[in-house]
A and B are shown apart, each in its own frame.
Chain A
């Protein structure tokens, strides 16, 4: 069985926000909800600016899944963590449990109030986000099922993201795995989105993440 993962190379990420908007366009999330985010991290002492692409980690041991009392969150055999909107009651225990701040409760807001744009009308289920339900990155499971990569990965202008199957020993991601490290390893979540970056940068990101899990810019 496949085990899908992403490695983000922070030596390449330029903070160009293409993943952020490509995802918006692909998934049509509501205002103030970004499934892909870019954190700008500045270290004055080291005179260094780093851009960190951040999204759902599709953890092997997702705390959101355990926290949901309605069994609305499930992990597919290929490791993709999804939310079942039929069961979700929107009480946000998952969002509170996620140390990465990757889950939002869908707001009711729309980009054009009371006005659906033509491509929003009768659109595919993955592009609909009922208000009050929890939402998070689906790893573009609809694209993966169609044999494509998640759009954030495919669209990355810096070629900073590698998507692949960790169980495939010939895959590029498998080869790069040893160079990559997880965020907040101490949480025991075993995230399948990992980063290529120095240890001290990792600590900086983690500090920022603990302070502000929503990773607001």
Chain B
């Protein structure tokens, strides 16, 4: 050993970095896309150390990225394909190792049989975490002939917020980072200090604060974002979003602080909105939301009088309740009535998104065969139950999977990176999947809560071992330089392309060649992967056709048809949504009273909020460095609520809702306000989603992860 005969802490020269080759890849830790950039050092094929990729648009790295190094060589990694030889759901599932040839024979055999017996729509294709193979899997589903493709986004993440954005603004935005000239930022239901939106930007937000930008943070929890940035921190009762937004707008209208000209010209339903929020005086809103009236007034004044104003919204913090879509729409109306949309230093929309691409994480439309999906639209399983959703997205809302399996509409499920714990009443989905004629999952590790219920488990190459996809930020494109995968692992794209090839479409699937598939996309900009390799660290920038411009709604540069206005049916920002009206939904961004607490269930549960070193269930055990920081689910509870229940730190407690109960470890903390408790999602032994009912926001189909009533009691030991 090098340290045995010398004092190793003195032996600096031998330790200096250098002499190693470097490589580049992305972190898939947050299932954020495009991902954060990793620069790694390697000796031969062995990755030895990582750093942030210098100059990469998504930076800096966080705990999860550093953890990917340990994950890469985890001894428990799946290294070859596995075939089930015991009944699905058996207590001790038994799998045997098989070859890739046999694996593909099984998959293709089932797909061909199912197409013949039931039609191709009976096969459901799914991409969970990571998002990376979305483009390749859509191409596979479309070529095979199934429109029934869904993702974790079309289950519980991001899409409901996006739906609200498309219905209201007509374009996708969760807001953007403030500039030097931004006056005030509204951060609602997200904690950018911990979770990557737009990436680990806390340092930049702290800089903005030092530069004088004001911050309003809306979050029931005293997050580090609220604690370090907020000039005003509003802490609402969960799921009362639309009432709080109405209260803020009430003050803005009443004090005539809104942008009158913009409202009159560019907001459809402005009078209905004004009339509606008249009933939401701060005193009444305080009763509904628990936010003090004077804070509502102060926030309204701060936001409306310090333009240009920006916003940072979460992809899911405000859309996990039974009024998800209209709650999120209500938030979006606040910057709208202030006229902060598409103005410099406000809420901006890029003038020149990369042609043929946006948005990147959904897959480029041509390569992903979006036209084919549109042709097959009438076969969508979600068309009748979530019509507004089905009109806006090609991804199927997956929450009715149980019903579709039970009624025989789905016979096979092909999934990349999927976890059954994403769904409320998880066991119903596990049983549904177990009852299918065929199912397969591609993953890094054997995950019992999911893989106990499938027929085949395929070993996926990890981030350091993947070539596809490349990353796109605005007009910048970056490639990566993979090391050889361990064992027989293959990257997600390769598996999808090889299935397609063996189904009989070698040309469409590039004979399984991942680089050729990437080149097919890159050809849109006259590039090949070689160009990315030649410009490895700096990436390639496709020059824009013109400068960044604002107020594009005035010049016809927001709409595809070139007409002035916003990309909505009315051509305006829609306080009253014509799409929602058409489908018989409440068309104004109305408040709906959440589930009422009772004597038996006096608390409200926020599930699924993040700790910084965990995103999804996969991170619970993939890296011991991270697992060591927290080995069990924690229930966060206000110290007073805890004291009232005789609960102390690290006590085992029972969390109960009307739908189930589980044991967790208590952490009394002022992070939580009185009356609200929090628990993370995705712990196998304490899966909070078993405590959540299968009830859904009627517009988006999203589950109420942040609305459910509950009680916490100390677990008495015998």
Contacts and interface: CB of A to CB of B under 8 A. Distances in A.
Interface in B557-575: none
B227 interface: yes
Interface in A127-151: 127-128, 130, 138, 141-143, 145-146, 148, 151
A174 interface: no
A119 B46 contact: yes
A189 interface: no
B7 A85 contact: yes
A3 B578 CA distance: 66
A123 B63 contact: no
Nearest to A16: B612
Contacts of A170: none
B624 A118 contact: no
B6 A22 contact: no
B685 to A, nearest CB: 21
Interface string A28-67: 0001100000000010100111110000000000000000
Contact of B73 (A21, A50, A119): A119
B447 to A, nearest CB: 19
A26 interface: yes
Contacts of B14: 124-125
Contacts of A68: none
Interface string B617-635: 0000000111011000000
Given A26-B49, A126-B15, A47 B67 contact: no
Interface string B649-676: 0000000000000000000011100000
Nearest to B195: A16
B221 to A, nearest CB: 10
A193 to B, nearest CB: 18
Contact of B9 (A84, A122, A159): A84
Nearest to B41: A119
Q: Bin the interface of chain B by size.
A: 35 or more
Given A24-B625, A49-B227, A126 B8 contact: yes
Nearest to A126: B15
A125 B6 contact: yes
A180 interface: no
A111 B624 contact: yes
B12 A145 contact: yes
Contacts of A48: 227
Contacts of A138: 9
B490 interface: no
A85 B11 CA distance: 10
B134 interface: no
A113 to B, nearest CB: 10
B16 A86 contact: no
Given A12-B203, A112-B75, A142 B66 contact: no
A127 B639 CA distance: 41
A123 B48 contact: yes
A162 to B, nearest CB: 12
A87 B50 CA distance: 32
A159 B201 CA distance: 10
Nearest to B205: A158
Interface in B1-36: 1-18
Given A21-B66, A24-B66, A118 B46 contact: yes
Contact of A47 (B5, B12, B60, B670): B670
Q: Which of B12, B17, B626 has the most CB of A within 10 A?
A: B12
B554 interface: no
A111 B60 contact: no
B2 A42 contact: no
Given A49-B222, A124-B2, A145 B73 contact: no
B706 to A, nearest CB: 21
Interface string B360-391: 00000000000000000000000000000000
Nearest to A15: B224
A146 B639 contact: no
A31 B627 CA distance: 11
A97 interface: no
Contacts of A146: 16-18
Q: Bin the interface of chain A by size.
A: 35 or more
A20 B629 contact: yes
B61 interface: yes
A156 B671 contact: no
A17 interface: yes
Contacts of B60: 18, 155-157
Interface in B314-350: none
Interface string B87-112: 00000000000000000000000000
B61 A142 contact: no
Contacts of B7: 83-87
B15 A159 contact: no
A12 to B, nearest CB: 5
Nearest to B611: A17
Interface string A67-97: 0000000000000001111110000000000
Contact of B206 (A24, A42, A143, A158): A158
B69 interface: yes
A25 interface: yes
B47 A157 contact: no
Contact of B202 (A42, A49, A87, A158): A158
A148 B612 CA distance: 26
A177 B138 CA distance: 56
A146 B207 CA distance: 29
A25 B670 contact: no
B203 A157 contact: yes
A131 B202 CA distance: 38
Contact of B8 (A18, A85, A122): A85
Contact of B70 (A50, A117, A127): A117
Nearest to B62: A18
A11 interface: yes
B202 A157 contact: yes
A200 interface: no
Contact of A17 (B6, B63, B202): B63
A43 to B, nearest CB: 8
Contacts of A32: 628
Interface string B41-67: 000001111111000000011110011
Given A17-B613, A21-B626, A25-B66, A12 B9 contact: no
B194 interface: yes
A44 B671 contact: no
Contact of A119 (B18, B61, B69): B69
B2 A157 contact: no
Lowest 6 CB-CB distances: which A-B pairs, in order? A159-B203, A125-B8, A142-B15, A14-B193, A14-B224, A84-B7
Given A16-B194, A125-B6, 10 more contacts: A12-B206, A17-B629, A25-B69, A49-B224, A49-B671, A112-B624, A117-B70, A125-B3, A130-B8, A154-B51
30 contacts: A12-B228, A16-B193, A16-B194, A17-B629, A18-B200, A20-B63, A21-B63, A21-B613, A21-B625, A22-B61, A25-B49, A25-B67, A25-B70, A25-B625, A42-B669, A47-B670, A49-B222, A49-B224, A49-B227, A119-B46, A119-B47, A125-B11, A126-B12, A127-B15, A128-B2, A130-B8, A141-B12, A148-B17, A157-B202, A157-B203
